[in-house]
Structure 1
């Protein structure tokens, strides 16, 4: 499988089939952390043209525009080291859609959990029984809970349950922690991304202690966290 070609087909397909093609282009551009001005330079157009396509002020982009835009995003990523392409390849190879799982990675060796927390800017609110992890999975909390079966939910663990499950888009933490109760065994650590310690569901630490995993919260920028996780191990 050619990861670039597979990802290109996915992006182009989403844009062409979307009810809001411009909005879908904007989603992928921001996912690749590419500024409108940078993309405009690659396409040899003014930034206002990119903005008009993304906002819907300009007629929906044709397949030629979509193809050039996808190629430009992937070229930029490859010049930066190909981190986004590798990230999506890992997710797709695990059998998930990239709007459900943002990243899934196995480490060559276990790393201290404290280091992972430092990398993602997380604050531990309840310690667990283990101090190292061998991988991580970054999950869109709402999409995972509403779309995944219990068997698919278990596959979030990848090769090992000795990992951190990072749930994004969390407001209190109740839903992902309740969902974890039906999946056994439990992970080494759970990070709830999108809230601080004061926003956490009051019963969350108690549930973490009962199941023996470390619980942490983080509220930094999602794309910055994904970038930091590229080099965690």
Structure 2
């Protein structure tokens, strides 16, 4: 039977186990769940310094028992809050799009500064957002997405985008992506419109982005360079 909580728990544990920096990956997921070190420590029945030591690498790599306690602690906190994070990530786990519609979809081992992402793809900020870090990105062929995706698939595409950047290629004015953000939740941390200069942007786009707390930027990096750069990021 499909169990989103169990699937997410397995995914988190797997990421930590395979990570070259397990502490950073644990921290990424704690931040993704919007749980402080103190809150997680209380859930696990340990001191906050223990959580801090694992995340910073001051303690040796956490074993499966510690990782399991961390994961269960995060999921229990989320469940008491209404289960929003589990539902959001269930959409990530079930996402399935053609490669020519979604060029790249990635979860990072640890959160990275948004400014680093913008610098890597030579993006120019148009509107500042509320978040300053990212935990992943999705690169979307906006033309093919509009032509081929159903309304439900569009919802899944946006709905999975917790703490990530959505990069839309083949954009002419940026109207469609920004309007779509108004009717789906959760919104991403950042939207990058590829192929246009800030001066060519739809005049209402910055205001809509600011209203939703989304960082908005544009880039004119050639598509092949953009994809090569973003697939190697971070």
- What TM-score bracket applies, with the shorter chain setting the length? 0.5 to 0.7
User: Alpha-carbon deviation of 1:157?
Assistant: 5.1
8 Å contact from structure 2 (residues 160, 186) kept in 1:
no
SS of residue in 2 equivalent to 1:220: coil
- What does 1:65-84 align with in structure 2 at a 5 Å threshold? none
8 Å contact from structure 2 (residues 159, 184) kept in 1:
no
Extract structure 1 runs of 4+ deviating beyond 6 A: none
User: Relative to structure 2, which stretch is displaced further, 180-189 or 123-132?
Assistant: 180-189
Question: Could you say if the C-alpha distance between residues 158 and 211 of structure 1 is closer, same or farther in structure 2, counting changes exceeding 3 Å?
Answer: closer
SS of residue in 2 equivalent to 1:170: coil
SS of residue in 1 equivalent to 2:209: helix
Q: Which residue of 2 aligns with 1:108?
A: 109
Structure 1 unmatched runs, 5+: 1-92
1:19-47 CA deviation, whole Å, 9 max, x = no partner?
xxxxxxxxxxxxxxxxxxxxxxxxxxxxx
TM-score, reference length from structure 2: 0.57
Q: Which residue of 2 aligns with 1:149?
A: 150
8 Å contact from structure 1 (residues 137, 157) kept in 2:
no
SS of residue in 2 equivalent to 1:139: strand
TM-score, reference length from structure 1: 0.57
Whole-Å Cα distance in 2 between the matches of residues 158 and 210 of structure 1? 18
Q: Which residue of 2 aligns with 1:98?
A: 99
Q: Which residue of 2 aligns with 1:175?
A: 176
SS of residue in 2 equivalent to 1:198: helix
SS of residue in 1 equivalent to 2:147: helix
Q: Which residue of 1 aligns with 2:121?
A: 120
Structure 2 unmatched runs, 5+: 1-93
Whole-Å Cα distance in 1 between the matches of residues 156 and 119 of structure 2? 26
Q: Which residue of 2 aligns with 1:220?
A: 221
1:164-208 CA deviation, whole Å, 9 max, x = no partner?
000000011011111222211110000000101111111000000
Matched positions, count? 142
Instruction: Please report the RMSD computed on the Cα atoms of aligned residues, expressed in angstroms.
Output: 1.9
